[in-house]
Structure 1
Amino acid sequence: MIHRFASTFAAGLVLAAPVLAQDLIVSHGYSNFGELKYGPDEPFSYVNTDAPKGGEISFDALGNFDSFNLYTRNGNVATGTQVMYEDIFISAADDPYGSYCYLCTTIEYPADRSYVIVNLRENITFADGTPMTAEDVKFTVDLFLEQGLPEFRSVVESYFSAVDVTGPYQVRFDFNDEAPFNDRLGLVGIWNPFSKAWFEETGARLDESTTTPFLGTGPYVLGPVDMGRSLTYVRNPNWWGADLPLNQGRHNFDSIRYEYFGDAAAAIQGFFAGEYTVRVENSSKEWATSYDVPPVERGDIIRETLPDGNISTAQGFIFNLKRDKWNDPQVRDAIRMMFNFEWSNETLFYGLYSRPASFWGGSDLAAEGVPTEGERAVLAPLVEEGLLDASILTDEAVMPPVNGADRNQPDRRTRRAALRLLNEAGWETGSDGMLRNAEGQTLDLIIIQFSPTFDRIVNPYVENLRDIGVNARLERIDRAQYIERRRSGDWDLTNQSLGQGFEPGGGLKQWFGSETAENSSRNLMALADPAVDRLIDIAIDSKDLDDVRDRLRALDRVLRAWGFWIPQWGNSEHWIASWNMFRHPDELPPLAPGVIDFWWLDAEAEAALKASGAL
């Protein structure tokens, strides 16, 4: 979810010139590309509308937590807080381009989308039973624009000329000309409204960590908490949306619990001991080697490999471009060449992973080979302006280096090529084997991590870098230090998952735009490039799916050529292990496995596990 905003404009109504009713488009949702799949308040086709309600589902988390505020970079936020809040729009897991009214009944707007009127449902209440009105939505917008994450505010704060309450359950959003056309409808639906009265009473701030959750409208509220160790969200018995058709077959558990563990080894043992009941596995080593245990052999625990139709997560190391030494593309290329994915996958990952190559991997939005005619039409004007090198029009899309799987150390040809690049960039090998610049400084490279799980992966990479003279080292620190050092820029390489969506929007600026380079939890590498900025604007302005494909492929091609990203590894499946008492529809939608959303508990199966002593 994109974190949101506010506008503090003059009091009173700010109305545009009168528009005749017949000139307004009135809809229960929108899609920039194609038709909506579902009608007003129509249940999603992939859920079991007769799914029973009740029981508990539980998961693991690593480390600890000290805050319930998801919307600030301060503190270590607890897992799962999203279940306490709801957005004005909702999306379906089988409709990548559609958004549907959820907290609203309809939206109204003219063809030019110069403004949008949101008609809210009149029966929505916050968790304390107080009604949610247009004043709360307006307050939430203002709050995010004033106190929201900097990378969000820097992108969207100038998009609105006014956000006004035009009725007890009606809010009007007026847009400036610079607001991207395709983003405008989405920008009215992303808000998860907070209670204005609660914020005024408590004095809470969006930019500060808090041990008290904000008051929301969601199906769950915070239950028992052992701060830093475990927490449970429990069903709100008076939740306003329980009978809404859009919620049929959804939110089926009475409680959702998270147990925190100090490390991954303790977490998986806790699962086998029944300390929690569902494990979404993210380690190939564990998936390949750790499930040969009695509960699995007896069928008390089942393992499922479920398809993932999303764009693949572009997980990788990123360079800190605020440090001058990483602004040389030859230096970045040399460092990239020394990570041996093939050996890592064969030796460490049991051959279960593939290497991401694109920010839109697994989709037809990824650049491949040389540019298509459509891509060239997008890129050529930027070449003519001198913003891009002409080679972008003829070169194949940048792919990760390929090494041998028989040994960690890249082959001699790769090592020689990396050293040649470093020498050309002014780094010479000294008598001690270390690379130094003209001032005698070593080429220091610090990789920060907080999880010991990464040691076995990062340390071989460090060895390869040191072998060619880079003064590389892994610094494993606790989670709090990790968060602070990423925030302060005290690192050279760190992990980042640069996952993208099917539709280009303002989120691209949060990930890659110059306006977010100075302070961002997304554009953590501090990328600031005028060609990228132009391509983002061009992509956001796409008129149809052909435009989307051509423009995102062109952007993907340029981002990959930049070389600020060292692709790590990825998985095109969901690996889920669960105690054999949970059920889900036979056919799952492509965009979400829906474990919390639309799975349910089989009470008889749970009773059988308990009766047998297994659980």
Structure 2
Amino acid sequence: MMSFIRLSLGRPRAVRFWSAMAVSVCVAATGSAASAQDQGEIIKSHGYSFYGDLKYPADFKNFDYVNPDAPKDGEISLPFVGTLDSMNPYSGKGRAHLFSIFAYESLLGEAPTQDGLPADVYGEAYCLLCETLEYPEDKSWVVFNMRKDAKFSDGTPVTANDIAFSHNLLLDEGLQSYADAVRKRIPKVEVIDDYTIKFYFADGISRRSLIEQVGGVPAWPSKWMQERGVGLKDDWLESPPGSGAYVIDDVDLSRNIVLKRNPDYWGNDLPINKGRFNFDTIKLEIISDDTASFEAFKSGLYTFRSEGDSKKWAAGYDFPKVDDGFIVKAELPDGSPPTPTGVVFNLNSEILKDRAVRQAIALMFNFEWTNESLQYGLFKQRASFSQGTPVMANGVPEGAELELLKSLGDLVPEDMLTSEAIVPHSSSPDRLLDRRNARAAQKLLDDAGWEVVNGQRQKDGVPLRLEFLFNSTSSPTATAAIENYVSNLRGIGIDLQLDKVDSSQYTSRERGRDFDLIYESYAAFLGTGTGLPQYYGSEAAEYSLFNPAGLASPMVDAIIEASLSAETREEEQAAMRALDRALRYEFFMVPMWYNDVNWVAYYDQYGRPETQPPYAVGQLDFWWYDAEKAQKLRDAGVLR
């Protein structure tokens, strides 16, 4: 698992947008930062969206999709497949789980599972540690007025000094790509008093995502960490206390992590929290591989499973607990664009710098055969980085999108202006090797100078030899799909080594870019954000953990900059379509499959909203424990 520290990205499944500012903290005794400014109207609000529109008014009682009367009781347990060796996800070292961040809150509320909050709207955020925020029309700064009753789990208050401390700590000891980007955007943070903090934004840059960015900094206890000399580079054998609804109760990184709901949680009665954080206990079971994990679910070791294996979904849930109704199998709506997962090319590999070679490699993946033969026909083929959304590029560019691309001059290839957006090739579902595509791939390699000698491709005596890095804890179906793809590639003379390694080696080698090909993901988007350069930009391409291809395209950079300067939703959407088109044109990934619903299975002891919000499943956020249903399972001997 990658570190969670990254910049804000415009998408509904909000990554925790933690920030890091290397600035001196100025402490003023009294006064309002806003009053000293003469920048037109000062907006004061209980929440924030870039365009100023909020679904929920200042006096809202709870989010529409939650059950405000949900009982507070019981346990939910989930699996983690692989190995963990850390409780500190911020350092960029080791493998830490999402559970290790549950304790930490931010000024603007975020879902603990990294889903959007609220889960029924896109691009909005509401105060949590803050009571209100203030900013001028030009968004050149923001002031957060913090709640005076917010406390860490050890009883100490959460103050503006803690927020400023966290910013500086992340910059000093966090990821380089993150810190470099933030320094340019946020030059100063000012602690006005214990419960008022102001952030200044650099002149001449887009104001996009900056307020959400600083509103997403985690609140760490500065006094606790300074007294113990604890920073982000440490192992965190004892995690710093947080202010959130859950505290870490027990950790055994070889077996499980247990979270307990804090009975003294300060924020229980806030409207933003009504109907949320309903389980007394959340438990993570750490299991070696997916096959063992599924068997553990069947036995009742854990009680909620998100299924990603189509074979299991289609044919694996025919055991008695499902047949008898003790386990619920459900397909829940997913309003987010699917995660762009596929085979990623390392663009720093000399062989793979040749676009023709990448195209040839892509042609040997047979989605249709894979889906029919291995995946029960349950998946769809992904083409876009924003699949199925209003910002997906389709056909030839036109209107505002075309005008934007033309305005970038020679950065945009002429054929991109007149051609349809790139979509994956089609293949025959009847056999693994599509002969038509194989002939096209071989011609591309021939034309690129890679001739066949004794069955192997070589150029100037150098073999076409590549290493494909693959996580051995992946599901059997995903493993079979990749193995068959590798077989096709070997069949046209490519010397391809499939390196199956455990999750720790996988993480280490991925971060070191020690691969030619890798089965990985990028970030989907519905809108723009300051995280786009970390994923897709040149600025940190050599070392960003979120850009495994090392993509560095001046065209992509220019489109991202244009998107950040958009002043209307229409301009923003046109820029996002242009970005999607450009990313597909750069051809740094072989797109694979996606699912447009969420597959979940769980023991029938939970309640969930009648109407599922589009941007989150919410099992750890707004589901609840049904004691009556749970007792029936125990009476039947299904669960202990």
TM-score range, shorter chain: over 0.9
Letter in 1 for 2:447: E
From 477, 492, 503, the equivalent of 2:501 is 477
Say whether the 8 Å CA contact 1:315–1:567 is kept in structure 2: yes
Partner of 2:344, secondary structure, is strand
Letter in 1 for 2:85: D
Output aligned runs, 1:430-579, within 5 Å. Answer: 430=453, 432-453=454-475, 454-579=478-603
Q: Distance in 2 between matches of 1:324 and 1:41?
A: 59
RMSD (CA atoms): 1.7
Output aligned runs, 1:51-450, within 5 Å. Answer: 51-90=70-109, 91-382=117-408, 384=409, 386-411=410-435, 413-430=436-453, 432-450=454-472
Letter in 2 for 1:9: S
Q: Distance in 2 between matches of 1:402 and 1:483?
A: 32
Q: Distance in 2 between matches of 1:486 and 1:199?
A: 31
Say whether the 8 Å CA contact 1:60–1:259 is kept in structure 2: yes
From 11, 24, 29, the equivalent of 2:47 is 29
Letter in 2 for 1:533: D
How many angstroms does 1:15 deviate by? Answer: 7.1
Report percent identity of matched pairs.
38
Say whether the 8 Å CA contact 1:66–1:211 is kept in structure 2: no
How many angstroms does 1:161 deviate by? Answer: 2.3
Say whether the 8 Å CA contact 2:92–2:174 is kept in structure 1: no
Count of residues paired in the alignment: 611
Say whether the 8 Å CA contact 1:74–1:208 is kept in structure 2: no
Q: Distance in 1 between matches of 2:493 and 2:25?
A: 61
How many angstroms does 1:34 deviate by? Answer: 5.7
From 40, 46, 49, the equivalent of 2:58 is 40
How many angstroms does 1:137 deviate by? Answer: 0.5
Say whether the 8 Å CA contact 2:18–2:213 is kept in structure 1: no
Say whether the 8 Å CA contact 1:79–1:258 is kept in structure 2: no
How many angstroms does 1:51 deviate by? Answer: 0.5
How many angstroms does 1:536 deviate by? Answer: 0.5
Q: Distance in 2 between matches of 1:503 and 1:268?
A: 36
Q: Distance in 2 between matches of 1:285 and 1:400?
A: 23
Q: Distance in 1 between matches of 2:180 and 2:426?
A: 38
Which deviations, in whole Å up to 9, do the C-alpha atoms of 1:546-578 show, x marking residues without a partner? 112110000110110110011121111111111
Say whether the 8 Å CA contact 2:33–2:192 is kept in structure 1: no
Letter in 1 for 2:161: E
Say whether the 8 Å CA contact 2:361–2:489 is kept in structure 1: yes
How many angstroms does 1:356 deviate by? Answer: 1.1
Partner of 2:463, secondary structure, is coil
Letter in 1 for 2:123: Y
Which deviations, in whole Å up to 9, do the C-alpha atoms of 1:242-291 show, x marking residues without a partner? 11121110000001001111111111111111111111111111111111
How many angstroms does 1:28 deviate by? Answer: 1.1
Of stretches 16-25 and 315-324 in structure 1, the one that deviates more from structure 2 is: 16-25
Distance 1:442 1:496, change over 3 A: closer
Say whether the 8 Å CA contact 1:311–1:499 is kept in structure 2: no
Partner of 2:401, secondary structure, is helix
Letter in 2 for 1:597: D
Say whether the 8 Å CA contact 1:511–1:523 is kept in structure 2: yes
Letter in 2 for 1:3: W
Say whether the 8 Å CA contact 1:410–1:464 is kept in structure 2: no
Q: Distance in 2 between matches of 1:607 and 1:146?
A: 51
Letter in 2 for 1:167: D
Q: Distance in 2 between matches of 1:18 and 1:489?
A: 49
How many angstroms does 1:145 deviate by? Answer: 1.5
How many angstroms does 1:187 deviate by? Answer: 2.2
Q: Distance in 2 between matches of 1:519 and 1:207?
A: 18
Distance 1:352 1:472, change over 3 A: same
How many angstroms does 1:21 deviate by? Answer: 9.6
Partner of 1:65, secondary structure, is coil
The aligned residue for residue 18 of structure 2 is 3
Q: Distance in 2 between matches of 1:475 and 1:171?
A: 49
How many angstroms does 1:526 deviate by? Answer: 0.7
Distance 1:607 1:213, change over 3 A: same
Say whether the 8 Å CA contact 1:452–1:476 is kept in structure 2: no
Of stretches 189-198 and 144-153 in structure 1, the one that deviates more from structure 2 is: 144-153
Q: Distance in 2 between matches of 1:45 and 1:79?
A: 26
Which deviations, in whole Å up to 9, do the C-alpha atoms of 1:474-523 show, x marking residues without a partner? 11111111111001111111122212232201110110111111111101
How many angstroms does 1:387 deviate by? Answer: 1.4
Partner of 1:575, secondary structure, is strand
How many angstroms does 1:61 deviate by? Answer: 1.0
Which deviations, in whole Å up to 9, do the C-alpha atoms of 1:91-149 show, x marking residues without a partner? 31111021111111111111111111111111111111111101001101111121122
Letter in 2 for 1:243: D
Which deviations, in whole Å up to 9, do the C-alpha atoms of 1:337-372 show, x marking residues without a partner? 111111110011111111111111121110011112
Distance 1:251 1:41, change over 3 A: farther
Distance 1:203 1:71, change over 3 A: same
How many angstroms does 1:12 deviate by? Answer: 4.6
Q: Distance in 2 between matches of 1:17 and 1:26?
A: 12
Partner of 2:90, secondary structure, is coil
Letter in 1 for 2:189: V
Of stretches 214-223 and 78-87 in structure 1, the one that deviates more from structure 2 is: 78-87
Say whether the 8 Å CA contact 1:149–1:207 is kept in structure 2: no
Runs of 4+ in structure 1 off by over 6 angstroms are 14-17
Q: TM-score, normalised by structure 1?
A: 0.96
Which deviations, in whole Å up to 9, do the C-alpha atoms of 1:168-209 show, x marking residues without a partner? 101010111144212222222111110101211222222444
Say whether the 8 Å CA contact 2:396–2:417 is kept in structure 1: yes
Q: Distance in 2 between matches of 1:389 and 1:2?
A: 34
Of stretches 58-67 and 290-299 in structure 1, the one that deviates more from structure 2 is: 58-67
Partner of 1:515, secondary structure, is coil
Say whether the 8 Å CA contact 2:26–2:192 is kept in structure 1: no
Say whether the 8 Å CA contact 1:448–1:491 is kept in structure 2: no
1:590 matched to 2:614? The reply is yes
Letter in 2 for 1:324: E
Partner of 1:80, secondary structure, is helix
Say whether the 8 Å CA contact 1:87–1:193 is kept in structure 2: yes
Distance 1:528 1:108, change over 3 A: same
Distance 1:41 1:62, change over 3 A: farther
Partner of 2:44, secondary structure, is strand
